[in-house]
């Protein structure tokens, strides 16, 4: 009986092959696992990168443009406000546009220097901060000034325009002579009686005095050439106005009512000789 044994070489050859096969199997299994892990990592990275792009790409382009425009509008608004504030600061709180000169218009009998002194305009003060009403009030206190208008003449001049009082009569208190203007205002003391001005022979001369108002109204109604011939006004009551002419003739006018009609009647009546002309009742005038 013949027994066949595997040779030594065959035994060694078989074992290495098995080990190689086992090692190969283990290598392939490890490689597959590595490749699988690598694939998962790559996928994760791609997912992360893809997600970032998706987040960025998820914002509509129109929204980005709108945000940019809104930001520009905000900046424009801020710059506009700052510009306005800067201009206001220059106009109100600096001397860049401050007062540098005072111009007086309309001064005659009242010296311009007196008006400037009374005005007390603060030099270098910002033009917009100058109180023009206060200046006008101070200038109006000058006796010879009837009206005052104060204005700003840019960039640096305050203009004071005045209208002086026009004298139409004299008021003699017995110790002092005063000028009287067209409104019945006693406004200036004089040392001598000016020529050509009639005397107001009233107990009181003032704009709110009834007799004064009556005389002023009658004077306005007279023709200018006749008013210039009056040397004296008298009125014991508002209804008893009368005046004396340079010729010495006296006109009894009565009250200030119907003065236009009385002036017409007087014009015709003066053609007649007499010393006293009474037109207090224009329908029944008399000459005596």
User: DSSP states of 169-212 as a string?
Assistant: EEEE-SS-EEEEETTS-EEEEESSPPTTPPEEESS---TT-HHH
Residues 175, 151: one domain?
no
Helix residue spans in the chain (DSSP H): 8-57, 61-93, 112-119, 132-140, 210-221, 224-227, 259-269
Tell me what pLDDT residue 70 has.
82
Q: Is residue 156 part of a domain?
A: yes
Residue 272 DSSP class: S
**Domain boundary pick from 144, 164, 184:** 164
38 pLDDT higher than 80: no
Contact predicate 233/201, CB 8 Å: yes
Sheet containing strand 241-245, edge to edge, reads 186-190, 177-181, 167-172, 199-201, 230-235, 241-245, 250-254, 276-278, 286-287
58 pLDDT higher than 60: no
Provide mean pLDDT across the span 132-139: 98
Tell me what pLDDT residue 92 has.
64
In tens, the pLDDT along 105-125 reads: 999 999 999 999 999 999 999
Tell me what pLDDT residue 172 has.
96
Q: How far apart are CA 45 and CA 49, in angstroms?
A: 6
Q: Is residue 143 part of a domain?
A: yes
Spatial neighbors of 142 by CB under 8 A, at least 6 apart, are 110, 114, 115, 118
Q: Is residue 71 part of a domain?
A: yes
Tell me what pLDDT residue 247 has.
95
Burial class (CB in 10 A: 0-12, 13-18, 19+), 137: middle
Provide mean pLDDT across the span 125-148: 96
What are the C-alpha distances in Å from 234 to residues 31, 97, 181, 278? 139, 56, 16, 14
Tell me what pLDDT residue 72 has.
83
CATH number at residue 121: 3.10.20.310
Residues 196, 273: one domain?
yes
Lowest-confidence segment of 8-12, 83-87, 138-142, 196-200 by average pLDDT: 8-12
Residues 159, 139: one domain?
yes
How many structural domains are present in the chain?
4
Expressed as residue numbers, the domain containing 84 is 65-94
Residues 209, 228: one domain?
yes
Tell me what pLDDT residue 22 has.
47
Average confidence score pLDDT of the chain: 83
Residues 126, 199: one domain?
no
Q: How far apart are CA 288 and CA 286, in angstroms?
A: 7
3-state secondary structure of 230: strand
Q: Is residue 1 part of a domain?
A: no
Confidence of residue 27 (pLDDT cuts 50, 70, 90): very low
41 pLDDT higher than 70: no
**Domain boundary pick from 164, 179, 200:** 164
In tens, the pLDDT along 233-285 reads: 999 999 999 999 999 999 999 999 999 999 999 999 999 999 999 999 999 99
Confidence of residue 152 (pLDDT cuts 50, 70, 90): very high
Lowest-confidence segment of 36-50, 81-95, 167-181 by average pLDDT: 36-50
91 pLDDT higher than 70: no
Residues 222, 198: one domain?
yes
Q: How far apart are CA 288 and CA 280, in angstroms?
A: 14
Phi, psi of 230 (to 5 degrees): -75, 135
């Amino acid at each position: 009986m013949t027994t066949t044994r595997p040779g030594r070489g065959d035994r060694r050859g078989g074992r290495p092959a098995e080990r190689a096969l086992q090692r190969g199997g283990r290598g392939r299994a490890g490689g597959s696992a590595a490749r699988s892990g690598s694939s998962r990592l790559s996928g994760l990275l791609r997912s992360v990168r893809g997600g970032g792009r998706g987040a960025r790409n998820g914002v509509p382009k129109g929204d980005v443009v709108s945000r940019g425009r809104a930001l520009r509008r905000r900046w424009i608004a801020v710059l506009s406000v700052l510009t306005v504030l800067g201009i206001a600061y220059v106009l109100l709180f600096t001397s860049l546009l401050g007062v540098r000169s005072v111009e007086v218009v309309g001064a005659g009998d009242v010296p311009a220097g007196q008006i400037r002194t009374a005005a007390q305009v603060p030099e270098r003060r910002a033009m917009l901060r100058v109180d023009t009403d206060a200046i006008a009030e101070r200038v109006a206190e000058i006796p010879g000034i009837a009206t005052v208008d104060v204005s700003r003449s840019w960039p640096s001049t305050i203009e004071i325009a005045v209208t002086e009082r026009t004298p139409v009569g004299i008021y003699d208190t017995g110790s002092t002579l005063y000028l009287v203007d067209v409104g019945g205002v006693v406004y200036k003391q004089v040392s001598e009686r000016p020529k050509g001005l009639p005397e107001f022979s009233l107990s009181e001369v003032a704009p709110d005095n009834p007799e004064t108002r009556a005389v002023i109204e009658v004077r306005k109604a007279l023709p200018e050439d006749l008013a210039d011939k009056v040397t004296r006004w008298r009125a014991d009551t508002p209804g008893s106005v009368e005046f004396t002419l340079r010729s010495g003739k006296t006109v009894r006018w009565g009250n200030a009512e119907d003065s236009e009609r009385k002036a017409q009647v007087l014009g015709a009546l003066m053609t007649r000789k007499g010393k006293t002309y009474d037109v207090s009742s224009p329908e029944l005038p008399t000459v005596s």
